[in-house]
Amino acid sequence: MPNSSGRPSRPVAGRSRRPFSSNTASGDSARRSSSAHRSTPRTGGYSRPNSSSSSSSSFSRGGYAGGRSFGGRSSFGGGSRGGSSRGRGRVMSTFDVSKFINLNPAKPVTEAPYQAKHTFNDFGLDKDLALAIATMGLVTPSPIQDQVIPYILQGHDVVGLAQTGTGKTAAFLIPVIHKTLHERSRQTLILTPTRELAIQIEQELRRLTPRMNLYATVCVGGMNIRPQISGLRRKNHFIIGTPGRVQDLIDRGHIKPGGITTVIFDEADRMLDMGFIHDMREILKDIPDERETLFFSATMSKSVEGLVNDFLRDPITVSVRKTDITNSITQDVVRYEHHNKFDTLVNLLKTEEFTRVIVFGAMKHSVEKLSLELVHAGIKADAIHGNKSHVQRQRALKNFKDGRVQVLVATDVAARGIHVDDVSHVINYDLPGTYEDYVHRIGRTGRSDKSGKALTFVPAH
């Protein structure tokens, strides 16, 4: 799939109301509900690709110490909303190193190719929208699109179990745009866990709605609220935002929940992990019950299932989750001594095959520091974390996507929903806070049909 970096010609920021165009009809209702998996790692140890300088004992082979558990809560800094750990997913209070090792990954995507049952023409979409889809180069509906679009068009509540990279954004945008073009009084609220994801969705919305006179405002935290408020002054067909800021704007009277006809939760599991549950519930409280609700999540845990039961009416569930994405990613641990953890990282990054690397750190400040130290050590690096301004984050991401920097150092939260092709390695310099975080982190590599490599730093002693 082409990546989502289709750059908008104008800046997005927290206002982006802009026209997209056209005219009348809508949907109705019906409903039902579903599952998830996990990895089967093995043992091993990372052996350096070019052992010419393998003198460093820090990433010695045979890293695995027979399933020994280590660490307590504090060992797994795992970035989170604002760096705290409130509302996280399952915390790994004891940690089995073998979970980070899989030296014989399955060949990526050995599953039979999906046979789409529809073409985009089959959906009977508005002709301008169909044209925009074709212009974007989307030819065949992806599996999630193929399965979910008809239900959304019919007005069903839908649960879509799909990771990023599956085309899930277009899966919900396309039918909702179609319905909005035919019933312009509709207003859709899209909630996302991070501002980056909100902006990416808005970018895709723009690409799908040229000259259609549809309006959207992005309402995300960490950015000046004023342009968002002014963007909300006139009717928006789409409001895309993070739960905290959206709730704030509802409280201030700038978003009127009574007028919202469709609510979309994107990466709902991440929102839960990030402690947004209270805001999510509050936001829904005043949105009319007759709303349509679409719920996208990469995982289906008990708590996610609880949300589905509370928020959706008789939903149809469609799952396109791969059997196990972690299976196709080579995973290993890197043993380090405390005194030379950083040097161990630098040595790895200087290895030829580490062409495009995301390094995960635990905290915002440590991520920033690590990035500066890497630059100092001669590695082209940039950082993405919550203490950076929006513009800085976007710039770092662009530098990384465009190949101007080799390494992106990131906190978990900042990395949510990042779509970057050809990430050669994910390095967990600091341990993730939860196993879900681990899976999410390493999923940044091995996207689509590519194989990926993930390395996790664990103390030698």
Closer residue to ligand AMP (CB): 135 or 185:
135
Residue type, 173: L
Closest residue by Cα to residue 410 from 78, 12, 73: 78
Cβ proximity to ligand AMP: between 164 and 262 the closer is: 164
Closest CB 81 distance from ligand AMP, rounded Å = 21
Look at residues 369, 392, 315 and name the one whose alpha carbon lies nearest to residue 152.
315
Question: In Å, how far are 145, 159, 164, 291, 353 from 311, measured between CA atoms?
Answer: 22, 11, 22, 10, 46
Q: Contact at 8 Å (CB) between 58 and 48?
A: no
CA pair distance 368, 358, nearest whole angstrom: 13
Closest C-alpha among 404, 457, 451, 407 to residue 429 = 457
Q: Minimum Å distance from CB 386 to ligand AMP?
A: 21
Minimum CB separation of residue 320 from ligand AMP in Å reads 10
Residues 6+ apart with CB under 8 A from 392: none
Residue number with CB closer to ligand AMP (152 or 232): 152
Give the residue with the Cβ less far from ligand AMP, 165 or 231.
Answer: 165
Tokens standing for residue 93 = 């209070």
Enter the DSSP assignment of 91. B
Secondary structure element (H or E) that encloses residue 409, with its range: strand 407-410
Nearest distance from C-beta of residue 47 to ligand AMP, angstroms? 34
Pair of tokens at residue 377: 């050590």
Do 24 and 182 form a contact (C-beta atoms < 8 A)? yes
* Residues 408 and 359 sit within 8 Å (Cβ to Cβ): yes
Q: Report angle CA 254, 255, 259 to the nearest 5 degrees.
A: 135
Query: Considering the complex, what minimum distance in angstroms separates the CB of residue 165 from ligand AMP?
Result: 5
For the CB of residue 138, give the shortest distance to ligand AMP in the complex, in Å.
Answer: 4
Nearer to ligand AMP, 112 or 461 (CB): 112
Identity of the residue, 4 or 192, whose beta carbon is nearer to ligand AMP in the bound complex: 4
CB closer to ligand AMP, 99 vs 207: 207
Residue type, 195: R
In the complex, the smallest distance separating the C-beta of residue 417 from ligand AMP, rounded to whole angstroms, is 7
CB of 231 to ligand AMP, least distance (A): 23
- Nearer to ligand AMP by Cβ, of 171 and 348: the residue is 171
Q: How far is the CB of 400 from ligand AMP (least distance, A)?
A: 16
Distance separating alpha carbons of residues 407 and 123, to the nearest angstrom? 42
Beta carbon of residue 133, minimum distance to ligand AMP (angstroms, whole number): 8
Closest CA to 357 of 378, 375, 382, 338: 382
CA separation, residue 261 to residues 57, 186, 208, 256 (Å):
59, 6, 20, 11
Give me the sign of the Cα torsion angle 350, 351, 352, 356.
Answer: negative
Q: Three-state DSSP class for 43?
A: coil
Which residues make up the interface to ligand AMP (CB under 6 A)? 1-4, 138, 140-142, 145, 164-170, 419
Nearer to ligand AMP, 102 or 145 (CB): 145
Considering the complex, state which of residue 34 and residue 140 has its C-beta at the smaller distance from ligand AMP. 140
CB-based contact 331:41 (threshold 8 Å): yes
- How near is the Cβ of 245 to ligand AMP at its closest, in Å? 22
Nearer to ligand AMP, 145 or 293 (CB): 145
